Structure 1
């Protein structure tokens, strides 16, 4: 058995996370411009939601596969699929194509972050892990610094298609290092995958997202007929998604409690730290993905900023996050987990409250930058403590599924948040039936819709601003709920873990 080269394996894992971080910033930078070129502002949320939906569904499946068959093959497969989706997204010529290929990209992304973080938990001790998390945070910081600049440069001097092509050299380098230097010994046993659980999980997530988007549209009293005019986004009117999701969730839980190898062992939720981490992670991710999706749109569509300025709004968050995570990684072993969780989530509440109150058409551009920076600091404290607490709560044989479950709830929270806010934004743009929603695409063009009649431009800009203002209040509400959940976080031993016999015995 060849020995894993820890430094080069760590470099490969860092590259995989770098791709994910860079993707978030450059795509958010380019999306308003994409809307200006391809049209389809009513489908704006779906470019992000499709990616998060597909990655959400596959995260726990990949986590289970990593525990059964090893981390390496699952991670390599995910990266290859992510690169194929990236290339196809870059070749898209319509919004429908882009949404479809972003779905494919998300299917690969579902393996990258949870499995990479699981490998970190495997090859480093708890004491080393806290320090390595700080080093990995620097990766996010670097990506946060260069992402918006890179995205703005590519949009301005090449085309937006290149924001997807830049993943290729990074991904190839990551694959070469993983295949050459990461080796693991996996005791393979005959196993049966939980196909019924996977199908029910997929149906539950899709139905939940459909129902939540329906809430986003109907919450503001938009007529059903108007919603049906927006095509794909029109499925958001189907509030039936919520009761269907409830039935599918009940069926999923029942199946997972009976099968020998469940995708998500229900009994891991006997561990209070995992329960609270899952709830808080879903809520703060709804706020985070909502902010990274709609703050750039606000800057370019309402404040009239450039693509580079719009994408630059995310940089303070992605820089503040790793800096705070580095501090948390250094001090966690001394202070324990709860102080960083409560204080970090509390800071996000203060920050998003100010954002909801002060962000408007006349707001200075410095305001969203400062707000996103403080948001990132709070998230860096809380998310790092929550993740390490989860990994510390279980043994090796459950670390993959526990980490993936935590990532699953984070991504599903993000998908729900973005979907809900997308429904809200569309409802505001469709309030005036005499104004075609397609005209709103012009707000993202280089001249910010100056060719439109002044009264139409004012109506569209006002409607977009109102929808985004409501979304900022929703972001605030999610952080308040996450903070409330964090208050119940239990004390977690920093020296012991829970074994599989204690956690996942069939019942």
Structure 2
């Protein structure tokens, strides 16, 4: 059997995560400009939620496939699908096309982050894993620094289409490194994938997403989603190879990590989606300036993550989780209270920095706690389940907030919703009458302010959940050398 080259495999995994991190900042920077060109402000949230929805429902499926058939083929497939979706998104000529191809992109992304993190859990021990977080913290930090600037320059000097094309060289590099330098020995067993569970999970999440965007009008969709997810749990308790084994939630560390992860991800994705929109649509900032509001969060996150990886071996998981979530409450509370149409841009920058630092301490500690709680045979599905709850929280949160914005813009039936697109165009609404501009800008500002309070409430909920996090034994993993990156025989 060929041996795994651990350093180059780590580089490949870092490139995969770099694409995911860069995608967040670059697309958020460009989206107000996209709406200004293509129209469809009412579909603004769907560009993000379609991506998150498709990645959400596939995360646990990819995690299960990685446990059954190995990490490598699943990750290669995911990166390939992500690149195909990126190219097609860049070729889009309408908002509907963009949403469709972002869905395809998300289908690939569903494999990239959880399987990459699972491989890290396979090839590094607990102590090594805590230290290697510095490498991946640097990846997120670099993406946070170059993403907004890159997105702003692309929009200014090229076209927004190129924010998707830049994924291609990075993805091809990751694919090449994984093909030649990552090798694993997997004991294949005849297994039957839980298709019924996967279908019920996907349908339930879709129904919930449509329901939360209705702002009280889509009760049937919410009820349908609840019924489908209840049926999913019923099926998972009875099949031999469930997509998400319900038994893992007997571990309180995994259960509380799922709840806290879903809530802080709703806040995180809400902030990265709607803070740039507020800066460009309400404060009149440029695309580069709007995207730059995310940078303090994405830089603060990896810096805190670096310290968290080193501290958790001394302090344990709980102090870092509770302390980090406390910082997120302070950051989002400041944003909800202080961000006004006449506010200084220093307010969102400081608020997002605190938010990011808190997330860095929290997310790192929760992930390592989950991976430490299970053995190899469940590490893929446990990691994927944790990421699933984080992504479903983000998808539902962004969908709910998108419904809030649209409902505010549609309050006055005499104001055409299409006119709101001009607020985000290159002229920032200069073609609108002063009265119409004031009405639309005020409605957009009101909707986004409500969203900031929703973001704050989500972090408060996560903090409360974190208070119940148990004391997890930080057991020493069995060291895996670069020649034994495989499932046990």
TM over 0.5: yes
Counterparts of residues 366-381 of structure 1 (less than 5 Å): 366-381=346-361
Q: Deviations over 1:120-140 (max 9, x none)?
A: 000000000000112211100
Question: Could you tell me whether the CA contact under 8 Å between 1:210 and 1:239 is conserved in 2?
Answer: no
What does residue 455 of structure 2 align with?
475
1:44 aligns with 2:24: no
1:99 aligns with 2:79: no
Query: In 2, distance between residues paired with 1:478 and 1:134?
Result: 28
Question: Could you tell me whether the CA contact under 8 Å between 1:114 and 1:404 is conserved in 2?
Answer: yes
What does residue 242 of structure 1 align with?
222
**CA-CA distance at 1:208 after TM superposition:** 1.1
What does residue 400 of structure 1 align with?
380
Q: Deviations over 1:196-249 (max 9, x none)?
A: 0000001110111111112xx33xxxxxxxxxxxxxxxxxx4221111111111
Q: Deviations over 1:287-318 (max 9, x none)?
A: 00000000000000000000000000011100
Query: In 1, distance between residues paired with 2:122 and 2:396?
Result: 31
What does residue 256 of structure 1 align with?
236
1:53 aligns with 2:53: yes
What does residue 337 of structure 1 align with?
317
1:279 aligns with 2:259: yes
Question: Could you tell me whether the CA contact under 8 Å between 2:125 and 2:476 is conserved in 1?
Answer: no
What does residue 7 of structure 1 align with?
7
Query: In 2, distance between residues paired with 1:191 and 1:354?
Result: 51
Question: Could you tell me whether the CA contact under 8 Å between 1:345 and 1:486 is conserved in 2?
Answer: yes
Query: In 1, distance between residues paired with 2:90 and 2:53?
Result: 20
Q: Deviations over 1:164-194 (max 9, x none)?
A: 0000000000000000000000000101010
Q: Deviations over 1:397-449 (max 9, x none)?
A: 00000000000000000001000000000000000000001000000111101
**CA-CA distance at 1:496 after TM superposition:** 6.1
What does residue 184 of structure 1 align with?
184
Counterparts of residues 131-170 of structure 1 (less than 5 Å): 131-170=131-170
Give the TM-score of the pair, scaled to structure 1.
0.94
Query: In 2, distance between residues paired with 1:144 and 1:354?
Result: 22
1:268 aligns with 2:248: yes
SS in 2 for 1:72: helix
Give the counterpart of 1:327 among 285, 293, 307: 307
Question: Could you tell me whether the CA contact under 8 Å between 2:126 and 2:476 is conserved in 1?
Answer: no
Give the counterpart of 2:290 among 310, 315, 318: 310
Q: In terms of mean alpha carbon deviation, does 348-357 or 174-183 score higher?
A: 348-357
1:437 aligns with 2:417: yes
**CA-CA distance at 1:367 after TM superposition:** 1.1
1:82 aligns with 2:96: no
Give the counterpart of 2:278 among 293, 298, 303: 298
What does residue 405 of structure 2 align with?
425
Count of matched residue pairs:
478
Query: In 2, distance between residues paired with 1:279 and 1:157?
Result: 43
1:452 aligns with 2:461: no
Indicate the RMSD between aligned Cα atoms, in angstroms: 0.9
What does residue 17 of structure 1 align with?
17
What does residue 501 of structure 1 align with?
none
What does residue 481 of structure 2 align with?
none
Query: In 2, distance between residues paired with 1:131 and 1:109?
Result: 25
Q: Deviations over 1:102-147 (max 9, x none)?
A: 0000000000000000000000000000001122111000000000
Question: Could you tell me whether the CA contact under 8 Å between 1:38 and 1:95 is conserved in 2?
Answer: yes
Runs of at least 5 residues in structure 1 that lack an aligned partner in the other structure: 219-236, 498-507
